[in-house]
Structures are given as C-alpha cells and as structure tokens.
Amino acid sequence: MGTAATFDLRERAGVRSVVAERTASIPWYVWCLAAATAADMFGGYWDISWHISIGRDTFWTPAHMMIYLAGVLAGIASGYAILSTTFGSSQEAKDASISVWGFRGPLGCFMAAWGGFAMLTSAPFDNWWHNAYGLDVKIVSLPHSMLGIGELMIELGAMLLVCAHLNRATGAYQRKLDWLLLLVGGIEVAGSALFILESTPMEFMHNSEFYRAVATSFPVALIAISVVSKNRWPATTMASIYTALFLAGLWIFPLFPASPKLGPVYQNITHMVPLWFPVLLIAPAFALDLLRARMGANWGSWKSALAAGCVFIAAFVAAQWPFADFLISPAARNPIFGANYFGFFDPAVLLYNPYRFAPETSGNFAGGMAIALVMSIIFCSLGMALGNWMRTVRR
C-alpha cells in the first residue's frame, strides 16, 4: 500500500512537472532585452536611411531616439533582473546568478547594463562632437565607437541571458527559448550587415573587399548560435530572418515621404531611400547546416571550423557572384530589387556609372580572395569557440 502511494505521489509530481514545463513562460525581462536588440537594429537601419534621404538635420531624429531606446530597454530589463535577484527572496534566482560589487544577477544582464550605460553616455557626447567638428566628418569617431561598443555589449548580453535560461531548461520551455535565441541571432546578423554596409554595395560584388567583409562579419553569430541551438536549421533560420528584415526595409521605407535638408543634392529624393538588397547569406547558411548535420558530435572542433570556413566562402561566392551580375543589370532597377535607389549626395549616373563593378587586378583579386578564405576560417573558429563557451553558461 505504501509502495502504491509513493508511486502515485511520484506520478503526480511528474505530471505537475510536465504541465509546468508546457506552461512555463519566458520572463518579461528576457523579452525586454531581446526587444532592445531589435530596437537597436531597426534604429540603425532607419538612421542610415535618414542620413542618405534627408541628411543629419538634428540630433533629435526619430531614428536616433530608436537607437537610444535600445539602451533604455536594456537598462530596464537588466536593472530589474539584478535588483530583484539581489534584494529578492528567490534562492533559485540567486543560484542562477553571479556576484558583481555585491549585486547579484545573470551575467548577460550585467553586460547589457554596461552596454546600455555606454550607449546613453555616448548620446550627449555625440551631439557635442557634431556641433564642434561638423556633420559626419568621420564615421569612426570616439562617440560612435563608444556607441558601437555599447551596442555590442547589449547584443552579447541578450544572447548570454537567453543561453543561460536555455541551458537550464528542458522540453517545451527549452524549445521556446531556442526559437527566441534564433530570433535574437537573426537580428544580430542583420546588425552585422549594417556595420559592413560601405563594403557591400552592388559595384563591389565582384571585388575581394566585398568577400572579405562578409567573411569577417557574419560567421561568428551564425556559427556560435548554431553550436548552442537544438534546432535542425539554426543558421538557415537566422539568415532567413536577416533577409526578411532587409527586404521589409527595402519595400516599406520608400512608402514614406522625405526630402534632403542638406546639400549638395544630386538625386531627386521624394521618399525615404532604403538600403540595398540583402546579400544571399541564406546559401552559405544552408550549407553550414548541412555540414553541421553531417559532422554531428564533431561540430565545434577545429576540424569542423576549418571545413565550415571553406564551405561558407565557397557557397557564398557560388550564390552571390552570378546574382551580382543580375543586380547590375537593368532588370534589377525597380522597387523589388532596389538597384535604382541612391542617396541624395550620390552623383551616380550624373558623374559616374554606378552599374559597373569596381575594377581590381587579377593579382589583387586572387590575393584578396585568399585572405577572405583565411578570415572565413578564423571567424568560423571564433564562432565555434564562442558557441562552446555559451553552451556552458547557466548563470
């Protein structure tokens, strides 16, 4: 009788555990930090579009406010998680935290809090810098660098916070967190595309500089999250999110009116100018997922990093090279592919022909592509090292 009662209690406990697992919801502060990464990426896209459509007319543009909203959201989410853990009564929360200067909280929240502080601190500094030295006299200025570091810390903090929950979770709750991790990863991949924008216009797509830029920007996030994720197609999913975000910007932004407020004006701008068509990252991402499935338990080793670097650059060149020929042709000069959009300050068609590839000698191209391959292998290795570490994060 006692044995039956014990079995019944265990069965009920198991049922309660399964029900709790199915109904477990992701904490709001995790969503809030994920929203911070989305606000940062969207604000960055909007800000670039604003600069090439209107110009930097004032610091208080909606695009700038969207970027700094990311810092505010990161501060709210991180501040709540740290203070509630430090002064709360939940022993479970304390066990899943680290200690910094007497405060307790998730590692990702401490990183994101620092990033949010850096972003918000850079705002008045950036405004003073422009008033003192002019409008965008230098992209890599000290306040812009401070802003970029803050953005990077928020993105890394969001990834680590989701990973900490994911690595402790099981069942349905784990699958929810896995999808959230892929969403954050896709947003970060889109953010990476913004950082290399000056090296990826269509006229550079038969140039080694273009492939070097891609090889140094995308593999880290794609590979790192692929190491952590339990999804079958993590890299393809993140590349699809990046592609969808950039296509949405390409097709939606021109629906809103805009006109230049600075000179000289070479293009007749009447609506917001979007950024160009997304690169075909989905091809190497799909190839990486196939390689991951083939290598199985060996995924994350130095051998897999070497293979991933070669596969990434080979698949990308195979897809992007012929597509670049299409983008440079008259067939792409329409609102669908966006090859007819130029910033107001761009003397395209007037003083130069934008529909031709930037010249590069065969020797420079061969050397540049060899460097691109090496960089692809190095950054895939870094991605796997980061992913292997992220897989161990539980606090």
- The pTM score is 0.89
Range in 26-30, 57-61, 115-119, 177-181 with the lowest mean pLDDT: 57-61
pLDDT tens profile 17-74? 443 444 578 899 999 999 999 999 999 999 899 988 988 767 778 888 898 899 899 9
Residue type for position 125: F
Percent of the chain residues past pLDDT 70, beyond the cut:
88
pLDDT tens profile 202-233? 999 999 999 999 999 999 999 999 999 999 99
In the chain, what are the domain boundaries?
Answer: 25-168, 200-395
- Alpha-carbon distance 338 to 161, whole Å? 37
Spell out the CATH class of 200-395.
mainly alpha
Determine the 3-state secondary structure of 259 from DSSP: coil
- Alpha-carbon distance 59 to 263, whole Å? 18
| Cα–Cα nearest to 109, from 167, 159, 38 | 159
pLDDT tens profile 240-281? 999 999 999 999 999 999 999 887 889 999 999 999 999 999
| pLDDT at res. 335 | 94
196 CB-near residues (< 8 Å, 6+ apart): 213, 214, 216, 217
